[in-house]
Amino acid sequence: MQYTLILTEKAEGGIQVTIPALPACTLEAATRDEAIRLAHEAIAQLVSRSEIVQIDIPQQPRATGQPRGVPWEWFGEAKADPTWDALFNHLEQRREATRDAE
């Protein structure tokens, strides 16, 4: 399985690694190569200790008003993270390019 890594250069030096599929798994490294190596090790370790379980909940959740804004802002963690805008702009451009190619 492939995982996407977001490598962000920190102002004070080094690289911050975010793994969108595993939001609790973040790390920092001195170099790009070290960041990728450490991310690979962290993902492998997490996956080896994890189990995917699906459960059926027959009761539907209560309907509430739609939250405003975008999903990653609802919980506040990434509200001020400028990398999200760049990431989603890139994704939208790729989506449009894919649609145009069809």
User: Which residues are paired to 9 by β-bridges?
Assistant: 15
Domain ranges of the chain: 6-50+74-101
Q: Is 34 exposed, middle or buried (0-12, 13-18, 19+ CB in 10 A)?
A: middle
For 37-58, write each residue's pLDDT tens digit.
999 999 999 989 988 899 988 8
What's the N-to-C CA distance of the chain in angstroms? 26
80: pLDDT strictly greater than 70: no
For 4-32, write each residue's pLDDT tens digit.
999 999 999 999 999 998 888 889 999 99
Q: Which two tokens stand for residue 32?
A: 């790009």
Question: What DSSP string describes 73-94?
Answer: HHTSTTTT-HHHHHHHHHHHHH
**pTM given for the model:** 0.52
Cα separation, 40 vs 81, in Å, equals 23
